[in-house]
Homo-oligomer: A and B are copies of this chain.
């Protein structure tokens, strides 16, 4: 039996999504982006999640994007991104998420990523990784070629030299990018430099789906403890099946910056 009731955590993520939807599209895309409105949604969702976690798991620590850290040295630490993909949210685009990651001994253990605009819930438990109740698994591909498309991030044109011969797309939510790899919608993703809460849930789901989180330039496996210490990843991250790390490292080079 799981130490964490994941059905309950999924319900909290959906509750967070409902709060977010109350603000979604009340900002028209053609108006000036209203950052204060996002902040309000962010804060409301994070507070709701903190209240639930504190009530049901009073011994656990919490790290959130909005309200900072609380007992982050505990065995169990929850990492909250109440609204991942805020630009997409503000612009009326559908790919943004409520992301709830649970670390145990500073290792990704469980995660829930809920995409309210499409009502999609990704999570993992002791049985594996799931999308809307269906088991998911990373791609079985062992190499990348020009017929593939992979996920990239929004600063790729500035920060990397990419020789990958296929297509690259970017949707604007770190959490969704991890889930799309976990589900094999795409074989792999260049994630970039996320913060701990951006990917806490995604890493757990990816791992349960058979994937790994690695780092440029050499494809070394990420030690998640580093994210606890630095909050922002010190090296660009990749999400993929283990078999594709070699190709990614070969096709994506970090640019020398002066």
A-to-B contact residues, CB < 8 Å? 28-30, 87, 91-95, 117-118, 134, 136-140, 149, 152, 154-158, 162, 164-165, 167-172, 180, 183-186
20 A-B pairs within 8 Å (CB atoms) are namely A28-B134, A29-B183, A29-B185, A30-B183, A92-B185, A93-B171, A93-B185, A94-B95, A94-B117, A94-B118, A95-B95, A117-B118, A149-B154, A149-B172, A154-B167, A154-B168, A155-B167, A157-B157, A168-B170, A169-B170
Extra 10 A-B pairs, beta carbons < 8 Å, given A154-B168, A169-B171: A29-B136, A29-B183, A30-B136, A30-B137, A87-B167, A91-B186, A149-B172, A154-B167, A154-B169, A169-B170
Residues in B neighbouring A169, C-beta threshold 8 A: 154, 169-172
Copies in the complex: 2
Contact A149 B94 (CB under 8 A): no
Q: Which B residue's beta carbon lies closest to that of A29? A: B185
Residues in B neighbouring A165, C-beta threshold 8 A: 158
Residues in B neighbouring A139, C-beta threshold 8 A: 30
* Distance from A189 Cβ to chain B, minimum over Cβ atoms (Å): 13
* Distance from A20 Cβ to chain B, minimum over Cβ atoms (Å): 15
Contact B168 A164 (CB under 8 A): no
Q: Which B residue's beta carbon lies closest to that of A134? A: B28
* Distance from A151 Cβ to chain B, minimum over Cβ atoms (Å): 10
Quick one: given A29-B184, A154-B149, A167-B155, are A94 and B94 in contact (CB under 8 Å)? yes
Q: Which B residue's beta carbon lies closest to that of A141? A: B32
* Distance from A153 Cβ to chain B, minimum over Cβ atoms (Å): 8
- Which 10 residue pairs across A and B have the least CB separation, nearest first? A154-B167, A30-B184, A29-B185, A91-B185, A157-B162, A169-B170, A29-B183, A94-B118, A29-B184, A94-B94
* Distance from A11 Cβ to chain B, minimum over Cβ atoms (Å): 23
Residues in B neighbouring A117, C-beta threshold 8 A: 94, 118
Q: Which B residue's beta carbon lies closest to that of A33? A: B147
